[in-house]
A and B are shown apart, each in its own frame.
Chain A
Amino acid sequence: MIAIRVRNLKKTFGAKTVLDSVSMTVHEGDICGFLGPNGSGKTTTLRVLLGIMGADEGEVSVLGLNPALSGHILRRRVNALPESHGLYGWMSAHRYLKFFSQLYGMTPNTDQLRTGLLQVGLDPNDHRPIRTFSRGMKQRLGIARATINEASILFLDEPTNGLDPRGRREIHDLLLTLNREQGLTIVISTHILDDVERLCNRIAIMDMGRVRYEGPLASGNNARSLRYRLHLDNSCSMPSGWTYPGIDIIENKEGWITCSIDGIPPAYAIKTLVEAGLPILEAEILSGGLEDLYLSHTEGGVS
C-alpha cells in the first residue's frame, strides 16, 4: 500500500522556485530517509505533505487524502516533529504532553503521560518548566509529542539533533520498535547519514528543489555498500564460485580483487575472506556508501 505519493509538485516563493517537479513514493511500513543540502526543499516538501503549506502545482496524496483539502483530517492520522522544537517554555513536560494529546481529542491519564515521557528517557516526576531543559531533553520531549497520537505516518525533521550517542541510540530503538510493532511509516529528514543507515530502508535525495535519487537503501545502487580493492599475494586469486552473503565479488584479477561489502561490518567481511584462504595484504576503500551516493546526487558531488 502506498502511504505517500507525490507527483510533479511545484512551489515558488516569489521568483524563487523551491520545489521543481518533485515526485516520490513511500510505502506503508517504510522508514524513508529524506536527504539533501540546506535549502534543497525538504522542509517545504514536508510542510506540503502535512497540509500546512499549499503547492502551486502537482498531485499529493497522503494516506489517500489530499493534504491541501483535508489537512485537519489528515493531521489526526499523522504526526510530525518540526526542526524548531515548538515547546512552550512555561509549561512542564507533563502539562505539555497533556495539552498536545488533548489537541488530538485524547484524554490521557497520568499513567499514559508517564509512559510517553519514560519511553523517550524523560523523568515523569520532573515538573520544572521546559525553558530550563537542555537541548537534548527538549528534543526528547518533541519526539514524545510526535508519538503521542498513535499516528500512521510520522514525519521527523532532524530527530536526533542535540542528542548524545546514547540518546541517539535510544531514539533509534524507539523508532524501530514503533515501525516494527505498530507498522508506523516514518519519513526522516536529516543530515546525519548514520541515522539514515541505521534506520531507513528507503531514501530520497533532494537537491535544488528536485528529487535526484529515490530508491531502496540496501539494494538498487548499493547505496549502503562499500567498495573495496583487496591486494593479495602475487599470483593468488579468488577461488571461482565462492560466495558469501553481503560480499559481492565485482572483479577477480591476479593479485587483487574488487568487492562490495553490504550489510556486514567490513572488518568481519575481510576476516571471512582471509578464512576462505585469501592472503589479503592490504584493503583499500575505493568508493561507495551512503555518503558517496549523497555527494554524487547533490551539487558539487564527486560523481
Chain B
Amino acid sequence: MLFLQQITDGVATGAIYASIGLALVLIFRSTGIANFAQGEMAMFSTFVAWQLIAWGLPVPVAALVAVAFAFVVGAATERFVVRPAEGGSHLNTVILTFGLYLVFNEFAALIWHSTPLSFPTLAPERVWSVGGWRMTSSMVVMVGALVVESLAVYLLLRRTTLGLWMRASAANPESSALVGIDVKRMLMLGWGLAGVFGAIAGILIAPRVFLEPNMMSGILLYAFAAVILGGLDSVLGAVVGGVLIGVIENLVGTYVTVIGPDLKVVVPLVVIVLVLMLRPAGLFGAVERVRV
C-alpha cells in the first residue's frame, strides 16, 4: 500500500513538473533556449493570485486573473527582453533569462517579503482513503490540469491553423516569414502560453510548499530533469518525463535508504547526468541528423 501511495503522490507532483516542463519545451522549440526564469515567473504570478485573494477575490477568480497576467508577462518578456537580444548568440539570451530570474525573485521579495505564506487550494480540500491509500482533491486537480493542458497543446499545435503556423515558425523561421507568417508574433504567443502553464503549476503547488520567493527553484530543477528525460523539444516528452521524475523521486526517497527523503533532490541531478550521457536527445526528442 505504501508503494501504491508513493506512486500516486509521485504522479501528482510529477504533474506539476510536467506543467513547468511544457512551458520550457514550448520556449525551447521556438527559440532554442532554456528559460531559467520560468519558475520565477510562475512564482510571481502565484503571488499575484495570493494578493488578489487577500483583496477579497474568490480563489478560482484570482487564479484565472493571475493566469491571464502570466500570459501577458510571458509575451512581454519575449517582446521587450528576448527579442532585442535576437541575432546574438543563444548564450546571451540564456544569461538574460538568469537575469530575469533575479529580477522576478527580488521584486517578489521586495513586494511580498520572504516570509512563507499559506496559499489556499482552488476548492476546499477533500480526502478519499481506501485502506491505507489516500487521495486528495488537490491531487486530482493537479493531474486533471496536466491532462487538460496536454490536450490543449496537442489540439492547438496539431489541429489548428494557428498551431501549424507556430510549428512552422519554430521549425523554419525564414520560410515562415516568406509565406507571410508573422514569426515574431508566434514567438510572443509561445512565451505567453509558457507563462500560462508555469502559473497554473505555481498556483496548484503553492498550497503544498508554502508561497515564498524561492518556492519554485527546486521545482524548476525537477522540471529541467523532466524535459531532459523526455526530450527538450517534445511536448509528449515533457508530460511523460514530468510524471516519471515525480514517481522516481518518491520511490527513491522512500526505498533507497542511503538517500532517503532528505537527499532525494539528487534524483533529478542524477537523471540529468545519466540522460545526457546515454541518450542526449531524451526519450522522445528528435535526434539531430547531420546532412551531408
Q: Do A and B bind each other?
A: no
